[in-house]
Structure 1
Amino acid sequence: MSQNIKRKIGIWGMIFLMTALLTGCQDPKKEEESKNEDTILNQELTVVGVSQLGSESMWRSANTVSIKETFCKENGYFLLFDNARQKQENQIKAIRSFISQRVDYIVFSPITEEGWETVLQEAKDAGIPVILMDRNVKVADESLYTTWVGSDFTEEGRKAGEWLAEHLAGIKFNDEDVNIVVLQGTKGSSAMLGRSAGFHEVASQYPNWKILEEVNGDFTTVKGKEEMAQLLKKHENIDVLVSQNDDMTFGALEAIREAEKETGVKRDIIIISFDATRTALEKVKAGTINADVECNPLLGDEIEEVIQRIENDAPVEKAYYIEEKVFTQKNVMSVIKDRIY
């Protein structure tokens, strides 16, 4: 009997036992549910444990939907899904639970890059492939995970900087200071680190770009508004806001409106956002946001392709990048109609 089949039987046995212990004496409806459990036990489903970091944004919600729609029973999977609610200890606990249940694959989006060596070593020792989703980890031994699927965050940051350079060429002279503030995402996260590094790489080429302050908006609308309100009080002349996700941008826009300033095309403050959700693209269309750097959350199919490669003993790359664009008023109409997130 193969190791994968053993794992599948093992996890279904544990699920069935837990159901039996919890239900006890059953009424007819529960007996029918038990029969359904017996039916599931006889199916050869690939068991995938997913630890999602939270539900902090529309992007994250769309990412979760993509995972749940892909790893469903109809597609030959049984999904164990856990929401870590933005706490690393919750993710580590969930991953250890997946290991103890001997799932076939572990997929997770790490809240921060540091602190994963021990639990990843436990997964490796158990022979369970680990696929990183969206965010990355920083470990000395990269064999602790199988592959990573997601966006090139550093390239996204570069794209934001390159767009700003091109945009400013038409409205700012080279010797005129450009005052920039940055709303960063969750401290230590791959998205925050990559987008910051990429933008700084471009900004360093322009001595007149003055980054006045970078603050943590934690990828949420509430914190985005709160931090932007403080930035507006502290800095009288802000030319550019770089906001590292759409949800923070929405909060920042509220703060800017309350400060009676204009954004986007009217240009008291130039707005660059990230993610390119449909709601944000509507604001690009309206001219409220100048540019939005795409970050595609629909990773379910890409991750399943990796799993199928592993199942078929095909070579697996260490990283799989999703193709992404920058949207402005010039090209936003080409995608906005079909945006599903």
Structure 2
Amino acid sequence: MGHALQSGTGIGERAEGGTLPEATGIELIQPVRPIVLGFSQLGSESEWRMANTNSVKEAAKEAGIELLFENAEQSQEKQFEAIRSFIKRKVDVIAIAPVVHSGWDEILTEVKQAGIPLIISDRSVDVGDTSLYVTHIGADLYEEGRKAGKYLVDKMRDAAETVQIVELRGTEGSSPSIQRGQGFRDIVLKQPGYKMMASVDADFTFERGKEAMGTLLEQYGSEMDVLFAQNDDMALGAIEAIEEYGLRPGVDIVIISVDGTRRAFMMLGEGKINCIVECNPLLGPNMMQAVQELVAGRTLPKRIVPQESVYTEQMAKKETPFRKY
């Protein structure tokens, strides 16, 4: 297989068409052979991640792109191995959903030296040279944290006493954990009357979320007013822990989550979650359009951000039937 940006590879030229970020309406001359995309997915730790994986696989099939898929199972080292295998196989494009934020300079330099364009999906990477990747497709994670903070400040604006907050963080060193947490703090902790009692790692999983919340309840009990969970799976685990402790999630403890999975929306409708900041996992169509644009020799925007919303209890009943994940 030849690289996408080399001549004489058998990849067709591109006709006029639409522009990103809308993944519709593009018109491409069909290539002589399928475009080959190597995708390193960071894991399968949450419902969000599984929806993201399914979106990529379905979009690749629909676009006629040959997808080489590797699940890194939360290991950066496994992602390095997958990327090197993609280089060896001379794929046309490589895409990665990075498990952590840092440590990518060397491996991405190898990709660039091989002449293979690279797409960052979902989470971001911290590299000294941003030319090591072509584009980053995914949410504004910092802004998600700010949205959560703005909701809380508005909801608790009439609070007579200090608002005591606990936070369940995602995977240590991951960009969602870092950026959502920072965005939330930059809104909430600049307001008088807000205190972060504790912030603990729960790795974006239901089990760790329940375990961590149980420990926090033993330590703080009803002193805590708010839980900010950096994803739905941790929030759902925390809800079980809160109920087992004898408190009412969404009433005794305000719960704010990020993602927007169907199960979380059901909890939103029941009043057990008060707010969900959406993080759209359905990035497959955008990724496949970006791949096709790259192969056609087009220049992509450095950042592609999907449309996302903030949902409250009052919106849950109307929105839940339309959730695709």
Which of residues 219, 222, 233 is equivalent to 2:218? 233
Matched with 2:74 is: 86
Which of residues 168, 177, 199 is equivalent to 1:183? 168
Paired residues for 1:40-189 under 5 Å: 44-72=33-61, 75-170=63-158, 172-173=159-160, 176-189=161-174
Q: CA deviation at 1:8?
A: 7.0
Please give the root-mean-square deviation of Cα atoms over the aligned residues, in Å.
Answer: 1.8
Aligned equivalents of 1:76, 1:160: Cα separation in 2: 38
Aligned equivalents of 1:54, 1:7: Cα separation in 2: 36
On the 8 A contact 1:130/1:145 being kept in 2, the answer is yes
Residue-by-residue CA offset, 1:139-172 (whole Å, 9 max, x unaligned): 10011111100000100000000000111124x1
Question: TM-score, structure 2 length as denominator?
Answer: 0.90
Q: CA deviation at 1:59?
A: 0.2
Paired residues for 1:7-18 under 5 Å: none
Q: Residues 3 and 114 of structure 1: is their aligned pair in 2 closer, same or farther, counting only changes over 3 Å? A: closer
Which of residues 256, 260, 264 is equivalent to 1:276? 260
Residue-by-residue CA offset, 1:90-119 (whole Å, 9 max, x unaligned): 000000000010000101100001111111
Q: Residues 8 and 228 of structure 1: is their aligned pair in 2 closer, same or farther, counting only changes over 3 Å? A: farther
Q: Percent identity?
A: 45
What stretches of structure 1 of length at least 5 have no aligned partner?
A: 10-41
Runs of 4+, deviation exceeding 6 Å: 5-9
Structure number with greater CO (CA < 8 Å, separation at least 6) is 2
**1:86 aligned partner, one-letter code:** Q
Matched with 1:306 is: 290
SS in structure 2 of the partner of residue 330 of structure 1: helix
Matched with 2:24 is: none
From the two aligned structures, give the one with the greater helix fraction: 1
Q: CA deviation at 1:81?
A: 0.3
On the 8 A contact 1:44/1:76 being kept in 2, the answer is no
Q: Residues 100 and 273 of structure 1: is their aligned pair in 2 closer, same or farther, counting only changes over 3 Å? A: same
Matched with 1:33 is: none
Residue-by-residue CA offset, 1:313-337 (whole Å, 9 max, x unaligned): 3221111111111111222233211
Q: Is 1:214 aligned with 2:199?
A: yes
Aligned equivalents of 1:59, 1:301: Cα separation in 2: 16
SS in structure 2 of the partner of residue 331 of structure 1: helix
What stretches of structure 2 of length at least 5 have no aligned partner?
A: 11-30
Aligned residues: 303
The structure number with the bigger radius of gyration is 1
Question: TM-score, structure 1 length as denominator?
Answer: 0.85
